[in-house]
Amino acid sequence: GENVGLHLPTLSVQEGDNSIINCAYSNSASDYFIWYKQESGKGPQFIIDIRSNMDKRQGQRVTVLLNKTVKHLSLQIAATQPGDSAVYFCAAPLGGADGLTFGKGTHLIIQP
Amino acid sequence: GAVVSQHPSRVICKSGTSVKIECRSLDFQATTMFWYRQFPKQSLMLMATSNEGSKATYEQGVEKDKFLINHASLTLSTLTVTSAHPEDSSFYICSASAGILRAIYFGEGSWLTVV
């Protein structure tokens, strides 16, 4: 089955610096990945997604990179702001269904 | 954009009672909804897939008789926790999919505390 996991449970960065959050997956057949941001006590908020036919996708201040060779994806946040403090999850569909399996999450902490 | 709403956001119930949580898609019709459970400082775990007009599909280890799911319309799914126990206390989150959206949008979650 799908296994999506994150490398680091906590990431601390200085305000204004760039943040990079990593995620590894085990199912080479996975064709769709999503990054979510979850603030304390709230539901996950969609950030950006990427399909396996792409290796990079950019949004507003965020970039997702996908390396299918090593089954790794990353979320890059440019010029990190205090409002970026949250737990970030990568997720991928479970097998052929639309339900998602989530990674363990990385808690991004912004240092002033 | 698409919005998914959950109600109640917080609920406290006594052990042995049942509690119902609603999930509504506000901007679109959702043929499929998903229910997740999240314990503090842990990730989301898919509990079940709610299909409009048919029975829900439960993930392994999730008791279907304890977590009753009803998806009677294209905009509403309900999760009923029956005979609740303190260990059922958790954050329950739903998401909704119209197929093409690939279950991108989540509700705000419902905190359940069983005392």
Top-confidence residue, B32 or B63: B63
Lowest mean pLDDT segment, chosen from A1-5, A54-58, B50-54: A1-5
pLDDT at res. A2: 42
Would you say residue A110 has pLDDT above 90? yes
Q: Do A43 and B93 touch (CB under 8 A)?
A: yes
In chain B, which residues have their Cβ closer than 8 Å to the Cβ of A104? 42-43
Q: What are the structure tokens assigned to B106, written together?
A: 């989540």
Cα-atom radius of gyration of chain B, to the nearest Å? Answer: 13
Task: Decide if B95 contacts B37 (C-beta within 8 A).
Answer: no
User: Does the CB of B58 have a partner CB in chain A at under 8 Å?
Assistant: no
Q: Do A44 and B93 touch (CB under 8 A)?
A: yes
Could you read off the pLDDT of A76-92 as tens digits, one per residue? 999 999 999 999 999 99
Angle at A38 between CA A36 and CA A42, to 5 degrees: 130
Top-confidence residue, A5 or A69: A69
Of the candidates B32, B105, B108, which has its C-beta nearest A42's C-beta?
B108
Q: Do A42 and B32 touch (CB under 8 A)?
A: no
pLDDT at res. A59: 95
By CA distance, what is B50's nearest residue in A? A99
% pLDDT > 90, chain A:
72
% pLDDT > 70, chain B:
93
pLDDT at res. A1: 36
pLDDT at res. A5: 54
pLDDT at res. B77: 94
- Mean pLDDT for the stretch of residues A37-64: 94
The DSSP element (H or E) to which A94 belongs, if any, is none
Would you say residue B38 has pLDDT above 60? yes
Q: Cβ contacts of residue A70 below 8 Å, gap of 6+?
A: none
Query: Which DSSP string do the residues of A23-86 spell out, in sequence order?
Result: EEE--TT--EEEEEEE-TTS--EEEEEEETT-SEEE-SSEEEEEETTTTEEEEEESS--GGG-E
Q: Do B46 and A46 touch (CB under 8 A)?
A: no
Top-confidence residue, B113 or B32: B113
CA distances from A35 to A62, A90, B52, B61, B78 (A): 10, 5, 27, 26, 26
pLDDT at res. A6: 47
Could you read off the pLDDT of A23-50 as tens digits, one per residue? 999 888 888 999 999 999 899 999 999 9
Would you say residue A72 has pLDDT above 90? yes
Q: Do A102 and B49 touch (CB under 8 A)?
A: no
Number of Cβ pairs closer than 8 Å across A and B? 58
In chain B, which residues have their Cβ closer than 8 Å to the Cβ of A3? none
Lowest mean pLDDT segment, chosen from A20-29, A97-106, B15-24, B66-75: A97-106
**CA–CA separation, A100 and B93 (whole Å):** 12
User: Does the CB of B21 have a partner CB in chain A at under 8 Å?
Assistant: no
Type of residue at B19: V
CA distances from A90 to A2, A16, A86, B19 (A): 12, 23, 13, 30
In chain B, which residues have their Cβ closer than 8 Å to the Cβ of A105? 42-43
% pLDDT > 70, chain A:
89
The pairing of strands B105-106 and B90-97 is antiparallel
